[in-house]
């Protein structure tokens, strides 16, 4: 890449932050831009995996849907994060559905291209391994939360994880229903749990944010 060349958009993605310039250039050549409107599915569970996805702009949710239609949000995906890694490397269908929560820009590196890139660039291999390790730990923690912790404990842990300087900023799409789906419950139960945290003086609920008032108390609750 010449000194005056415009940096590829992927250069700003933490996933690729430590790649050598020649590796980043190769990844950029293999990536294709995709745009999705709010509410549009990037892909559905059970479909063949097209490749490795990286979100540049917007927010997405990864969901599992029961036969009755109930959603379990596996994770929210923000700018700079990747998704689709597991299916890409084992050649399996997509295990979950990914939906845009707001207008989004995604870069897709198809399966064959990412395989070729990994063969020729050890620094990309390391980056992928690190992301997979972090994602596996996240999923193990999620299984522990859903199987061993109460709703209040799961809610407390979620708020602590999402808070920045003691505040959880609520995006336009972050409705009570979306939060309930993320912590594995239904709307009525979530509302009662939030009310209980307010009564205990642990949090304050505002229209666009949740303020943590007693971090130590919330941490104790999160440990269950």
In a domain, 1, yes or no: no
Extract the tokens encoding 142.
Answer: 């999620």
Q: Do 104 and 57 lie in a common domain?
A: yes
In a domain, 4, yes or no: no
In this predicted structure, what is the pLDDT of residue 11?
72
Its domain, for residue 58, covers 9-146
- Identify the segments of the chain with pLDDT beneath 70: 1-9
Burial readout 125-164 (b: 16 or more C-beta within 10 A, e: otherwise): eebbeebeeebeeeeeebeebeeebebbbbbbbbbbebbe
Where is the domain boundary, 146, 171, 195? Answer: 146
In this predicted structure, what is the pLDDT of residue 2?
46
In a domain, 2, yes or no: no
What are 104-122's pLDDT values in tens digits? Answer: 999 999 888 888 888 888 8
Q: How many domains does the chain have?
A: 2
For the entire predicted model, the pTM comes to 0.83
CATH code of the domain containing 130: 2.60.120.10
Where is the domain boundary, 99, 117, 146? Answer: 146
CATH code of the domain containing 172: 1.10.10.10
Q: Do 142 and 194 lie in a common domain?
A: no
Q: Do 108 and 201 lie in a common domain?
A: no
């Amino acid at each position: 890449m010449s000194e005056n060349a415009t940096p590829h958009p992927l250069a700003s993605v933490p996933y690729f932050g430590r790649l050598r310039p020649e590796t980043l250039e190769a990844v950029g050549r293999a990536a294709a831009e995709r745009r999705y409107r709010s509410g549009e599915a990037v892909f559905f569970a059970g479909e063949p995996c097209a490749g490795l996805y990286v979100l540049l702009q917007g927010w997405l949710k990864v969901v599992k849907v029961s036969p009755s239609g109930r959603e379990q949000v596996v994770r929210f995906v923000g700018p700079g994060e990747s998704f689709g890694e597991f299916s890409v490397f084992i050649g399996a269908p997509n295990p979950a559905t990914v939906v845009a929560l707001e207008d989004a820009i995604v870069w897709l590196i198809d399966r064959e291209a990412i395989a070729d890139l990994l063969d020729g660039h050890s620094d990309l291999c390391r980056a992928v391994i690190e992301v997979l390790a972090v994602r596996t730990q996240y999923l193990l923690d999620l299984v522990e939360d859903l199987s061993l912790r109460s709703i209040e404990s799961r809610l407390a842990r979620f708020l602590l994880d999402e808070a920045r300087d003691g505040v959880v900023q609520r995006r336009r799409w972050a409705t009570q229903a979306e939060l309930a789906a993320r912590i594995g419950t239904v709307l009525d139960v979530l509302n009662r749990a939030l009310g209980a945290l307010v009564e205990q003086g642990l949090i304050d609920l505002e229209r666009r944010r949740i303020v943590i008032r007693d971090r130590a108390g919330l941490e104790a609750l999160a440990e269950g």
